[in-house]
Amino acid sequence: MKIIVCLKQVPDTETQIKIAPGGEKIVTDDIKWVMNPYDEFGVEEALRLKEKFGGDVTVIGMGPKRVTESIRTALAMGADKGILISDAALEGSDSLGTAKALAAVIKGLQFDIIFTGQRGIDEDQGLTGACIADLLGIPQVSLAVKLEVAADGKSVKVNRPVEGQTLVVEAQLPVLITTQKGLNEPRYASLPGIMKAKKKPLEEKALKDLGLDPAEVGLGGRKLKIIKITPPPARAEGKIVQGETPQDKATELARLLHEEAKLI
């Protein structure tokens, strides 16, 4: 089974995000970059399928050189081959531009299943997976929490939650599946795996290798433009309940919960 996992590098969830002057970007100087957590579920699922059916796993990432670290992490987890798409002309691509670049690379590869995270935790758009599937003309099943590939390796059943219920979707391979929390528990990149990853192939591709019109990608090719980023409102300061006796305090607390918080 040939499996492809698309991964994005995003700021670590514990990073304090600061908005750059101008309000259209974030400050990236002190950010710690990690593999998008939703993509990790895809890497893990790909490895489990490889363990069951044989075959190989290729991970594809796009972005600056630092994305290599996340590709290496996937290789250390057990993926076989990495591809980094890196070109200054691709910087600033929106989801569609990114999907065009990824699809251009994937077109040259053999594949049965493509995994992408259901969304990137940075911009939360959730578009790239669907765009890639459309560009490749293959079915897409989104938000997988469980999947089962038929023994003959020709079709897959995917569970996805819908409003408290479960929808089971069947699709023929090749297929693109977007992954989310609950699908699996991603393994650690083991230390021996990290040593082995150093020797695994990692190919780099630039825009000219993709056969795309530069006008379709990068900042110039954006169909969506970010006008403004605003921080979440600061949390209101806590209130210390005053009172002479515990009874007074409890009475006051009950009043506040009823009248101000309107919880009781």
Partner 1 sequence: MEHEIPESLALMLETVRRFVKQDLEPISKQVEDEDRIPDNIVQTMRDLGLFGLSIPEQYGGLGIGVLGECMVYEELSRANACFRTRIGTNNGIGSQGIVIDGTEEQKGHYLPRLASGEWIGVFALTEPEAGSDAANIQTTAEKRGDFWMLNGRKHFITNGDIADLATVFAVTNKTEKAKGGITAFLVEKTFPGFYVGAIERKMGMRGSHTCELLFDDCQVPAENVIGGLSMVGKGFKTAMKVLDKGRLTMGASALGSAQRLLELSLDYARQRVQFGRPIGEFQAIQFMLADMATQIYAGRRMLYHAATLRDRKGTAVVKEASMVKLFCTEMANRIADMAVQIHGGMGYMKDFPVERFYRDLRLTRIYEGTSEIQRLVIARELLKGK
Rule CB under 8 A: choose which of 23, 188, 206, 226 binds partner 1. 188
DSSP class per residue in 74-128: HHHHT--EEEEE--GGGTT--HHHHHHHHHHHHHTS--SEEEEESS-TTT----H
28 φ, ψ (degrees, to nearest 5): -105, 0
Could you say whether residue 130 binds partner 1 (CB under 8 A)?
Answer: no
Q: Candidates 46-54, 136-144, 187-195, 215-223 — which segment interacts with partner 1 by CB under 8 A?
A: 187-195
Beta 146-149 vs 155-162: how paired, if at all?
antiparallel
Q: Closest distance between partner 1 and the C-beta of residue 191, in Å? A: 4
Could you say whether residue 192 binds partner 1 (CB under 8 A)?
Answer: yes
Q: Candidates 51-59, 94-102, 158-166, 182-190 — which segment interacts with partner 1 by CB under 8 A?
A: 182-190
The site that binds partner 1 (CB under 8 A) totals a number of residues, namely 14
Residue 72 sits at the vertex; the CA angle it makes with 66 and 77, to the nearest 5 degrees, is 145
Whichever of 154 and 198 has its CB closer to partner 1, that residue is 198
CA distance linking residue 46 with residue 22, whole number of Å: 41
**Of 75, 60, 99, 140, the residue nearest 224 (C-alpha):** 99
Could you say whether residue 191 binds partner 1 (CB under 8 A)?
Answer: yes
Q: Closest distance between partner 1 and the C-beta of residue 189, in Å? A: 5
Type of residue found at 216: E
Rule CB under 8 A: choose which of 25, 52, 154, 198 binds partner 1. 198
Could you say whether residue 73 binds partner 1 (CB under 8 A)?
Answer: yes
Rule CB under 8 A: choose which of 46, 76, 99, 130 binds partner 1. 76
Instruction: At 166, list the tokens.
Output: 């479960």
CA distance linking residue 37 with residue 247, whole number of Å: 48
Rule CB under 8 A: choose which of 195, 219, 250, 257 binds partner 1. 195
Instruction: At 159, list the tokens.
Output: 């569970």
* Binding interface with partner 1 (CB under 8 A): 69, 72-73, 76, 188-195, 197-198
